[in-house]
A and B are shown apart, each in its own frame.
Chain A
Amino acid sequence: MAKKNSGSLRSYLLVRLLLVLPMVLILLTFVFLLMRVAPGDPIQAALGGKLSPAQLAARRAAAGYDRPLIVQYGEYLRQVITGNFGTTITDHRPVIDVVKTSGAATLELTVGALVVAIIVGVPVGLLCGRYRDTWFDASGRTFGVVIYAAPVFLTGLLAQLIFGKDLGWLPTSGQASPLTQAFLQTHSNFLLIDTIIDGNTAAFWDVFKHLILPATTLGLLLSGVFIRLVRVNVIQTLRHDYIEAARARGINEPRVVFRHAFRNALVPVITVMGLQAALLLSGAVLTEETFNWPGIGHALIDYLNNRDYIAVQGIITVFALAVVVISLLIDFINAWADPRMRY
């Protein structure tokens, strides 16, 4: 029986892996076509209103944008397969460099946001579940709904005005102050890590302070999901027989709640955390714009505005691959933990 089960796990994983290929191919094709079907091109975006139609056409032809779509598509796929995402049209950077430097900034922001979401969302959700239908529960749930519904840019702007402009406690834009960034050695593209490697405490605090507002803004959004999820799971777990049994055995209430109910209630939360990766990345785009955070979302909007096909395709492909890999990992973990998933 055990042998049969492990065999089905293998085939489940194999099917999931094989599904990734058409999924990514469909996405690549969709992005490619969307960029070409939309009006405008990089030349027109940059020099429209400056050159005549004939001059623009000549430049378009020289850059190869007038070639048949199928030829451009074939070339694009060939590049992606060989791991070469090309060079951006507008600022001549290898796309992989953009992904590395901007991706690191986004990762720094999303990790910070996740920490905030866990610190706020999990305890509030736990207490709301434990003290169900009390004023605390009502306040926690309201907070969760409001913070999740509030647009990131609105929360961000309010935070900038209050903590940056009025109180003057925290910086409102960028990853570090200009002078810190100017003289910080780049080791890993992660600024916090670079300051630690350099042993530069002043720079570390500067970078850390710049992270607080954007990470809190994005983290609070996510905490809304966590509050509701943890609350519901804690309420359900507290109804289980083994909780009653624990109480009947005379185990004190905090131990019942934290040791028995809370730990079990966390399992689905961990799954959802993975699924929130896509939300976190899309939320990061808006947060990065609001806080002038030099992440990959920030770069994506720039390149989209300039109709830079190559850059947009490359960045979205990396985004998509990241989400696919995370989803795949979650599927693997779920299938391993819960045999029902394989059928």
Chain B
Amino acid sequence: MRQRRRMAQGLTLLAAVALIATACGSSSSGGSSSGGTGKPIVVGTTDKVVSFDPAGSYDQGSWTPMYSMYQTLLFFPPGSTKATPDAAKSCAFTDTTTYVCTMRSGQKFWNGDPVTAKDVVYSFTRNLKIKAPNGASSLLDPVKSVTTQGSDKVVFALKQPFALFPDILGDPSNAIVDPKVFPPTKLVANDKIVGSGPYELSKYQDGQQLVLKPNPHYAGTLKLHNSGVIVRYYTQASALKLAVEGGDADVAYRTFSPTDIASLRGEGSRGVQVVEGQGAEIQYIVFNQKIMPGGSAAQKLAIRKAMALTIDRPAIAKSDYNNTVTPLYSMIPAGLTGHTESFKQVYGDAPNTAKAKSTLSSAGVKTPVSLDLWWTPSHYGETSADMYTTIKRQLEATGLFKINLHSAEWDQYSGAYPTDQYQSFQLGWFPDYPDSDDYAAPFYGTSPLSFLNDHFSNPQVDSAIAAERKSTDPSARAKSFGQVQLIGAQQAPIIPIWQGKEIAVQRKGVTGVASTLDPSYTFRYWLIGKS
């Protein structure tokens, strides 16, 4: 029975290979020699797609396939957090507020239309004009204007110096679109898009699957290691796990629970392999400085410091997350420019109950400190429940704290934490762009730089953020980030807990997955091959 099933699958596979090969055959007339070798691959995921229109998406589920279907002026090569030219031949600041990109010649959308500097201007203008509720147009807030210069140059005028602007250009929300296909004020349906990336959308069935074939007109630099990609969408991690175990998916990327990962790690004999890379997802606890316990600012600070001294991050990573995360001692994760383990510097690398006790007593804080700690059950995964039980246990074991755990579903939670309803609360963060600024300004900057509304404000931090945003010198920026992290640890308005790993599961014979798992969260389909 199993053999007959495999035979039927094999025949279907052959038919598929033939079909994709036909598509590749026609591609030779398109002038590209980069794509379409090897076998098609099947990628399974529990991600959801909001929109493949660059103006309408601001989520990982939409962005992951978009990296392969569109071109951006700059992109992130594997293992790098520095954006380098993609559709552009070169890009550079001509002064602190002017950024100029020169387009690569001979590039086309998959419908054959040429990709021009005018199209780039149209794409950015359109994004800013539509301002879709689920879109990422807010990332373009620093842009004053976008214009063409000559036939092949795009000029970005910025409102103020913003050194990390090139990184933002690597986001799929800033992908180049064809004005003939994308109307200026309306989003385009997911199955009607046209891009100029290495793959062309062949078929899309919402919530079911996405089929990509090599773009016959692609004239970029990327080499394809497969002849097509099928992305299969699953709602349950359990179904995704069964799919990769049974060979229905060659690769499973996002998102398994730590328990699933632990189980899959033991299935090498069944042809399954867990692949890990450095991620940049983080989780942390925020204190609302207005309503947290403590009779004065000094007492509140002492309470935060005592908590920072008590929480045992390695224990959480090991017992609750099966080492699928690593302990985090800074809000800027490891792997990004300027990362320092500031919390280790300030509080040591192991919990210190005696120091926590003396910190509280010297500030005149009565113990045990009663603190409301909120967490949300499903938004950050089911393991949140375990983690917050562990944190409560760790804190209460010292006799210094009485933790009142509360939980609320995301709909209620996300409306309550920024409106002074929670004393302290769980949050998580995925990067918009792989730069340390994305972990400094949104958390430590004075509102509106910070989205937390936790009433933390520090002039030294604000000036350090302003300095790193102006500077293009990596060492100067690293110095600014060092300052932000040190003050962040000393004041502890937020306690970082862990940094996630990028994890995928692959079948035996699949190649290239490890090389695409990095903090940029760019899952590059073109790198994946199958023998």
Residues of A that sit less than 8 Å from B by CB: 38-40, 42-55, 59-60, 62-63, 89-93, 98, 101-102, 157, 160, 164-165, 168-169, 171-175, 177-183, 202-203, 205-206, 209, 289-292, 294, 298-299, 301-302, 306-307
Contact = CB atoms under 8 A, between A and B. Distances in A.
Interface string B168-198: 0000000000000000000101100000000
B49 interface: yes
5 contacts: A40-B414, A42-B133, A43-B134, A160-B242, A179-B12
Nearest to A169: B1
Nearest to B189: A92
A175 B208 contact: yes
A75 B334 CA distance: 51
A178 B233 CA distance: 10
Contact of B16 (A164, A182, A291, A294): A182
A88 to B, nearest CB: 9
A91 B189 CA distance: 8
B117 interface: no
B249 interface: yes
B248 A171 contact: yes
Contacts of B205: 101, 181, 294
Contacts of B202: 182
Interface stretch (B3-11, B67-75, B104-112): B3-11
Given A40-B410, A44-B411, A294 B208 contact: yes
Contacts of B49: 91
Interface of B: 1-2, 5, 8-9, 11-13, 15-16, 19, 40, 42, 48-51, 53, 56, 58-59, 131, 133-134, 138, 187, 189-190, 202-203, 205-209, 211, 230, 232, 234-236, 238-239, 242-243, 245-246, 248-249, 379, 410-415, 418-419, 427-429, 447-448, 450-451, 453
A164 B247 CA distance: 12
Given A182-B230, A206-B12, A292 B239 contact: yes
A168 B2 contact: yes
B16 A179 contact: yes
Sorted from nearest, which 4 A-B pairs have the closest CB atoms? A40-B411, A48-B414, A52-B451, A39-B412
Given A52-B450, A53-B418, A181-B208, A59 B133 contact: yes
Nearest to B202: A182
Given A40-B414, A45-B410, A307-B411, A92 B12 contact: no
A299 B411 contact: no
B12 A91 contact: no
Nearest to A201: B8
Nearest to A97: B206
A290 B9 CA distance: 23
B207 A299 contact: yes
Contacts of B131: 59, 62
Contacts, number: 168
A38 B208 CA distance: 29
A165 B133 contact: no
A55 B451 contact: yes
Given A44-B411, A59-B133, A182-B203, A52 B208 contact: no
B438 to A, nearest CB: 11
B524 to A, nearest CB: 20
B448 A45 contact: no
Contacts of B419: 53
Task: Give the interface SS of chain A, mostly helix, strand, loop or mixed.
Answer: helix
Contacts of A178: 42, 209, 230, 232, 248-249
A46 B50 contact: yes
Nearest to B208: A294
A228 B246 CA distance: 38
B190 A209 contact: no
B209 A182 contact: yes
B206 to A, nearest CB: 6
B211 A50 contact: no
A168 B246 CA distance: 8
A91 B453 CA distance: 29
A63 B135 CA distance: 12
B462 to A, nearest CB: 16
B76 to A, nearest CB: 20
A182 B211 contact: yes
Nearest to B411: A40
Kindly name the residue among B19, B56, B133, B413 whose own CB sees the greatest number of chain A CB atoms within 10 A: B133
Contact of A90 (B50, B138, B203): B50
A289 B415 CA distance: 28
A42 B211 CA distance: 28
Given A62-B133, A91-B50, A174-B208, A49 B246 contact: no
A51 B427 CA distance: 13
A89 B56 CA distance: 11
Given A59-B133, A299-B207, A202 B56 contact: no
Given A168-B1, A175-B208, A292-B239, 4 more contacts: A49-B379, A53-B453, A298-B207, A306-B48
- Interface-centre pick from A160, A175, A292 (highest chain B CB count, 10 A): A292
A181 B209 contact: yes
Contacts of B58: 46-47, 50
B48 A302 contact: yes
A54 B453 CA distance: 10
A306 B46 CA distance: 15
B408 to A, nearest CB: 9
A157 B236 CA distance: 12
A172 B246 contact: yes
Contact of B42 (A59, A93, A179, A290): A179
A157 B242 CA distance: 11
B48 A46 contact: no
Contacts of B448: 52, 54-55
B357 to A, nearest CB: 34
Contact of A202 (B2, B11, B51, B134): B11
Contacts of A51: 138, 451
A96 to B, nearest CB: 13
A204 B148 CA distance: 54
Contacts of A45: 410-411, 414
A105 to B, nearest CB: 9
Contacts of A40: 410-412, 414-415
A92 B56 contact: yes
Contacts of A299: 207
A173 B207 contact: no
A173 B239 contact: yes
B203 A209 contact: no
Contacts of A173: 234, 239, 242-243, 248
- Residue of A55, A101, A173, A291 most packed against chain B (CB within 10 A): A173
A48 B242 contact: no
Given A182-B230, A205-B8, A292-B235, A164 B242 contact: yes
